[in-house]
Structure 1
Amino acid sequence: MKGRKCDDKNLLCLGSNLGKGCCTRYNRKPVPFQRIKGYRQQSTKENCHIEAIIFYTVKKNQICATHKDEWVRKTLELLSSRLKKMSKTGFAAGESGSFVRTTETFPNSTRLY
């Protein structure tokens, strides 16, 4: 399928749909929190086939996950907590150490995080 990079060795599987990558399956293996920079939510309303959380890593990889997994819920809570702390300390988006929930997409990547 054009625009799709998937194989069993990859933790990530993104298919191209209307120029935007869609998760087609989930990574069930927990990703270390310190490697996660941000995330966005994928919806079936975006013409994607599954609901997903797409985590962005510090190496600009994308990891597809489901909110049904406990590690995903815990990671989202930690990211939310970090964002609240930063807003209290006055960090601006994009400064060192900051976290931003984003809808920006990175080029499709199939490298390991």
Structure 2
Amino acid sequence: MVLNKIFKFTDKNFEQKILLEKKYILVDFWADWCNPCKILSPLLDELVDQYSENLIIGKINIEKNPEIPVKYSIRSIPTLLLFYKSNIVATQIGALSKNELIDFLNKNIT
């Protein structure tokens, strides 16, 4: 499911989407009560079009989907996992500025 060009991951669709996708996938692990998550969310919305050629951006709510965060040992939010060909290629924990997020993406997407 896509929300505002940001893909909505769930426990049920996560593995299939990650395994089948040929592009990079950036997954934001978040929760409604998380203030740093609220800071990061609009930045992802701003960058989705800029990186759409090479990257899919998605979010997974850890409270509504508890299985995937446990599988990937998510202990703090927001956590960003960058996948490529079903492997984690980079991780970022905590809120970022827009410039830091752009640097993270540019450094890890080849």
Normalised TM-score (structure 1):
0.29
Q: Which has the higher helix share?
A: 2
Q: Which has the higher strand share?
A: 2
Q: Which structure has more RCO (C-alpha within 8 Å, separation ≥ 6)?
A: 2
The structure with the larger Rg is 1
